[in-house]
Amino acid sequence: MIMNSAALPLFDHGAELICGVDEAGRGPLAGPVFAAAVILDPAHPIIGLRDSKKLSEARRDALALEIKAHALAWSIAESSHEEIDAINILQASMLAMKRAVEGLSIVPTLALIDGNRCPVMAVRSEAIVGGDDKVDAISAASILAKTARDAALMVLHAQYPLYGFDRHKGYPTALHLERLQLHGVTPIHRRSYAPVRRILLAGKS
């Protein structure tokens, strides 16, 4: 699925048309991993961009609306739990980021990727460790990926209300592990992840 937009306080890339790229959801035991790509509009600066994990849910939601309204281009993509199990979470995250960049309505000349490695794609890319708190475009991508994934987990909560996805968003909290032990593995859990695999081996599916 793809949905369809810069200030660089620490990095100067001259006249490049830059998109920031980040993912959300590598650690959870269930659901897709999401990624977003954002090309910010220097004429419409967005105040308060930072790593989505350091923002309240209300602030993330407000900034996501502002990013979608004022960015030059934005795109959100995902890799499914089936893809995660088939190719591993790292490669699935890279695939989601590639899809997000390819989904942009404007082709950037450079993609700045949060982390220490880049997906293989046609657009030139540069990895920046901690980029989601250093580069505004990556911060914006972090916010879009996080809010999109949280919304998707609320949908999963409606489908599987016994598991508490509205509270833990799929992460391996004590509550989630308790519900897995009690109710077994759902079709949207990542079977390659150790806590899920252990329950499957115990015969709870």
Question: Per residue in 60-103, pLDDT tens?
Answer: 999 999 999 999 999 999 999 999 999 999 999 999 999 999 99
Helix axes of 136-159 and 57-70: crossing angle, nearest 10 degrees: 120
Go through the domains of the chain in sequence order and give each one's CATH number: 2-157 (3.30.420.10), 160-201 (no CATH)
Was 114 annotated as part of a binding site? yes
**What global pTM score does this model have?**
0.91
Banded model confidence at residue 205, pLDDT cuts 50, 70, 90:
low
C-alpha pair distances (Å), 59 with each of 78, 82, 108, 140, 184: 23, 31, 27, 12, 35
The reply to whether 136 sits in an annotated binding site is no
41 is in an annotated binding site: no
Closest residue by Cα to residue 143 from 64, 77, 40, 54: 64
Summarised one tens digit per residue, pLDDT across range 20-52 is: 999 999 999 999 999 999 999 999 999 999 999
Lowest mean pLDDT among 51-55, 188-192, 199-203: 199-203
